[in-house]
Chain A
Amino acid sequence: MSDRDLIATEHDDLGQLFRRALRNRSFLIGLIITLVVIAVAMISFVWTPYDVTKLTIADRLKPPSAHHWFGTDHFGRDIASMIMEGARNSIAVALVAVAIGTVIGVPVGCWAAAKRGAIDEVLMRSSDVVFAFPALLSAVMITAILGPGAINAIIAIGIFNIPVFARVARGAALAIWPREFILAARASGKSQARITLEHILPNIANLLLVQGTIQFSLGILAEAGLSYVGLGAQPPNPSWGRMLSEAQTMMAVAPQMAIAPGVAIIVAVLGLNLLGDGLRDVLDPKLRRER
């Protein structure tokens, strides 16, 4: 991050920043899509068109209609209702996995940047080791060991978010430490921890926010993958990945079963990616020209 960018963000208040963000097409479209997905998930807590635990064999494999917007599955369950409840699961898993990455990774990265030297070297080489593990393979290994389920999927995805946030936080913090206002803070006798809390974190928050949206979207994809192979949320809780896995066996007779969950995943991931791109454009003007 260059000095000019820092100055740009330091002098913007949140209101100004938000108004500027709303003029960014990516951000606006991404924000709307993400809010719609979150709203759908929230509404599912109080209302869904049908009860997803109720099996109605007489209604099995119905095509989309006014009664069943996306049709029904092989147990006669309403696919639209399952999509709504599945959104809850996807968002919860990905969000908590991002929170795990942030809560552990950011302090580790900031600590490495503040201490430098051997601590920094050990922490960063450790993250190299974690990065050497193909993420999905390891997530499968962790969920298989801990047992399938949403909580273990969160842990498996969250573990891989830790080094990502540690690296981003460290890289961004290293760029802030040599700056003059940090020097002034040090001269006034503030401890490294206090400087990190009061000066470093507010200045790297924007980068962490952008990374958060990226990891959030990757988390939704990873959760869908784990659920697809049977290691994510377990029945009767609907999940988009498991809906696809069930659709696979019915592809020849009811291909519509595979459409809605797939589109739901794409919409959620696309919304977050656009939001992340837009945020990066707004918060880091240097990158705007390149993309």
Chain B
Amino acid sequence: MFAYAARRLLTVLVTLFAASIIIFAVLQVIPGDPARLMLGINATDDAVANLREQLGLNAPVYARYFNWLADMARGDFGVSYTYSAPVRELVGERIVVSLPLAILALTLSTLVAIPVGIFTAARHGTATDTAAMAATQFGIAIPNFWFALLLVYIFAITLRWVPAGGFPGWEDGVLPGLRALILPAIALALPQAAILSRVTRSALLETMREDYIRTARAKGLPQRRVLWHHALRNALIPVLTIMGLQFAFLLAGTIIIENVFYLPGLGQLVFQAIQRLDLIVVQSVVILLVGAVITVNFFVDLAYAWADPRLRHRTQ
């Protein structure tokens, strides 16, 4: 297990390194001069040259790349051109919106998907199963930002139960914060729940065909006990894998939903930074998000290998 974990960790580091090169390289080809953008079109050439020097933009590309890596390793993510604030502070302010949103969405999605998956697997082939699977097809096809608009219209504009957008912060207590996050979380959770319930159902049906399940049935165990005590535990492994992937997606993929609800999260930060050519913010936030995706996948892989010894032996 240790050897497997060490090998996977090495892959994680190599992937992160390669991702950092891609991010840095992509942002080098961006049209426009960040220094001129910061100073405006009326700035003199001298002022632009001075700012370029100050920002270190005149150094060779490789030097800037390694400086960026070295700074990040020290926890220094640089200073945003547009916010005039350290990127670490900006990320800190935004992560308290994006992380709870991702956790809330994943919780909602799991609370809906796992019972639906189990229920439909237990009633495989019945009209209920068919209807539920048809519903999940719709869930997968619905764009989450459209669903978000409908939720805003119903619950914010018509019923006025929750705010239509914005985030009050956590200073006034948990409840106002949660009220602001509940609609975006539901909008994010719907397609994820649809996917997860289909995965749960498929995994359970697959497990139910295993020999040990047949043995358990042959011993006369009731269907309910076979399902809950024998099949579910094994079927949950692929479900957990998908949940890990979904969490990474939810953390990084909220860019559009944060726009719909005007939420000051990481997605909105990076979106605005891209539009304003605030490269240091873009490269730092993107590498952090990619790092989060890779880290979550790493732990999911470890959990998978821990639960299924065949996997770690197969990859040795």
Contacts and interface: CB of A to CB of B under 8 A. Distances in A.
Interface of A: 125-126, 128-129, 132-138, 140-142, 144-145, 147, 217, 221, 224-225, 228-229, 244, 247-248, 251-252, 255, 258, 261-262, 265-267, 269-270, 273-274, 277, 289-291
Contact of A251 (B15, B157, B274, B282): B157
Contact of B15 (A125, A229, A252, A270): A125
- Chain B interface, DSSP helix/strand/loop, else mixed: helix
A134 B153 contact: no
B138 interface: yes
B9 interface: no
Contacts, number: 125
B256 A228 contact: yes
A273 B141 CA distance: 8
B209 to A, nearest CB: 8
B236 interface: no
Contacts of B138: 266, 270
A290 B206 contact: yes
Interface in B235-275: 248-249, 252-253, 255-256, 259-260, 267, 270-271, 274-275
B19 A132 contact: yes
Given A225-B143, A228-B145, 19 more contacts: A128-B15, A134-B253, A134-B290, A138-B286, A141-B270, A141-B282, A217-B141, A225-B256, A229-B271, A251-B149, A261-B146, A265-B141, A269-B140, A270-B141, A273-B141, A289-B209, A290-B205, A290-B206, A291-B198
B274 A140 contact: yes
A137 B255 contact: yes
B193 to A, nearest CB: 16
B22 A248 contact: no
B293 interface: yes
Contact of B141 (A145, A229, A269): A269
Contacts of B202: 290-291
Contact of B14 (A125, A277, A291): A125
Interface string B189-210: 0000000001000100110010
B137 interface: yes
Given A129-B15, A290-B206, A140 B141 contact: no
Given A128-B15, A132-B19, A132-B290, A247 B149 contact: yes
Nearest to B297: A132
Given A128-B15, A221-B143, A137 B137 contact: no
A229 B153 contact: no
- Report the contact-size class of chain B (Cβ under 8 Å from the partner): 35 or more
A265 B146 contact: yes
Given A129-B22, A141-B26, A145-B26, A134 B149 contact: no
A202 to B, nearest CB: 28
A131 to B, nearest CB: 8
Contacts of A262: 142-143, 146, 149-150
A269 B143 CA distance: 9
Contacts of B153: 251, 255, 258
Contacts of A277: 137
Contacts of A290: 202, 205-206
Contacts of B255: 136-137, 140, 229
11 contacts: A132-B19, A141-B274, A225-B145, A229-B256, A258-B150, A261-B146, A262-B142, A266-B146, A273-B141, A290-B202, A290-B205
Contacts of A261: 146
A136 B253 contact: yes
A79 B19 CA distance: 42
Given A132-B19, A244-B146, A144 B274 contact: yes
A224 B271 CA distance: 17
Contacts of B286: 133, 137-138, 141
B160 to A, nearest CB: 11
A257 to B, nearest CB: 10
A66 to B, nearest CB: 26
Contact of B152 (A251, A266, A291): A251
Contacts of A228: 145, 256, 259
B175 interface: no
A132 B294 contact: yes
A120 B286 CA distance: 27
B18 interface: yes
A277 B149 CA distance: 29
A244 to B, nearest CB: 6
Contacts of A229: 255-256, 259, 271
B137 A274 contact: yes
A261 B252 CA distance: 26
A291 B255 CA distance: 32
Interface string B113-145: 000000000000000000001000110111101
Interface in B79-133: 133
